[in-house]
């Protein structure tokens, strides 16, 4: 696959999954033995990824992901995104706060034969927890 085709696959994956809530895209665009590497641990296969994604979509039912930058080279695509949503469902044991958050993140996607084989993902969980009021903010202001 070309770099452009790989980039289009990652764009479709993020848009369909998170913005359109179409988790069936995992069956289409993830390999059967795909691995999501996330700070909380690895998740395997489309079904494992769906459980992971469902947690965020349940906690933030209005979640929207905007791709800020995307770069493709050979079999890898790097995407930097901003996600926004309102905390209306439980998230990893945190009761809904009703607060709106903006969270930055990025992922490295490795593709094989037109499907995503591996994802290495990170987001600003610390900043998200501060916005939710779960941990105190630093009180630092720019100026």
**CB half-sphere exposure, 9, CA atoms < 13 A:** 28
Paired with 73 in beta bridges are 76
Residue with tokens 């790097």: 78
Class of domain 3-132: alpha beta
The number of angstroms, rounded, from the C-alpha of 23 to the middle of its chain's C-alpha atoms is 12
Of the candidates 92, 12, 3, 20, the one whose C-alpha atom is nearest the C-alpha of residue 56 is: 92
pLDDT tens, 71-118? 999 999 999 999 999 999 999 899 999 999 999 999 999 999 999 999
What does pTM read for this prediction? 0.91
Radius of gyration over every alpha carbon of the chain, rounded to an integer in angstroms: 16
For residues 79 and 15, the answer to whether their CB atoms sit within 8 Å is no
How high does pLDDT run on average in the chain?
Answer: 95
pLDDT computed for residue 141 by the predictor = 54
């Amino acid at each position: 696959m070309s770099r452009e085709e790989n980039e289009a696959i990652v764009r479709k994956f993020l848009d369909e999954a998170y913005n359109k809530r179409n988790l069936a895209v995992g069956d289409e665009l993830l390999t059967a033995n795909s691995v999501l590497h996330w700070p909380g641990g690895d998740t395997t296969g489309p079904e494992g990824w769906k459980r992971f994604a469902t947690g965020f979509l349940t906690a933030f039912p209005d979640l929207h992901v905007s791709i800020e930058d995307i770069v493709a080279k050979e079999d890898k695509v790097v995407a930097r995104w901003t996600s926004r949503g309102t905390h209306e469902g439980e998230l990893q044991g945190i009761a809904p706060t009703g607060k709106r958050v903006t969270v930055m993140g990025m992922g490295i996607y490795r593709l094989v034969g037109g499907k995503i084989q591996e994802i290495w993902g990170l987001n600003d969980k610390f900043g998200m927890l501060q916005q939710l009021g779960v941990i105190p903010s630093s009180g630092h202001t720019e100026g």
